Amino acid sequence: MGAKARDHDGGTLSLSQACYHAVWGYPGKVAAVAPSLGVTAKTLANKLNGNVSGHLLTADEAVQIAVITRDARILTALCEPVGATFHWLSEVRDTPGDLDVLAGGAASMDATNQAIQEVIRSLEDGRVDATEARRINAMVHEAQRRLAVLGQLAERFMED
């Protein structure tokens, strides 16, 4: 399958869009992911194509794609619209050191700054269009996610 993935504008995607980008960004693309779903590469490509109504991606297939690709866009597509965040378990060590907390704080600040910079860029013309709003929401969600990780790291230092 020599198709080229469509570009992603940086905003939060729908679940089907996130799966599309996850698969097309995965090494080996559709041909590598399809066997794990028990479908042919052509069938999976059709399920990921928003213009094909005869094949639809199921929730279980979306989960399997997330397991295979570990693409954060899929989890963000589920979490952001309902006001939830996620973090990878590997981001919070059982016994973090001071530098882990500092790195978590720096990542939170960086993500927050990126969200603010996106707002500034978006307001340069005096308004925020739908694409800009989606990018801002995605960046705010990432900042919230980073803060949640920082909170989890800090909790590891609490005394009982």
Q: If DSSP codes are grouped into helix, strand and coil, which group holds residue 95? A: coil
- The tokens of 83 are what? 């006001």
Q: Is residue 160 part of a domain?
A: no
Establish if 7 belongs to a structural domain.
no
pLDDT-based confidence at 5, cuts 50/70/90? Answer: low
Distance CA 80, CA 102 (A): 26
User: Whole-model pTM above 0.75?
Assistant: no
Same domain, 112 and 149: yes
In a domain, 5, yes or no: no
pLDDT class of 20 with cuts at 50, 70, 90: very high
Number of folded domains that form the chain? 2
Distance CA 26, CA 31 (A): 10
Are 70 and 104 in the same domain?
Answer: no
* Inside any domain, residue 71: yes
Residue 14 φ/ψ region, left for φ over 0, alpha for ψ in the -120 to 50 degree band, beta for the rest: beta
Residues 127 and 78 both lie in one domain: no
119 close to 91: Cβ distance less than 8 angstroms: no
In a domain, 8, yes or no: no
Pair 31, 73 in one domain: yes
Euclidean distance between CA atoms 11 and 2, whole angstroms: 26
Q: State residue 7's pLDDT score.
A: 61
Host domain of residue 122: 89-155
Does residue 6 fall inside a structural domain? no
End of a domain among 82, 100, 124? 82
> Above 50 in pLDDT, residue 2?
no
Same domain, 19 and 78: yes
pLDDT at residue number 54: 83
In a domain, 133, yes or no: yes
- Mind listing the pLDDT tens digit for each residue in 75-105? 999 998 898 988 888 888 778 788 888 888 9
Residue 10 lies in a domain: no
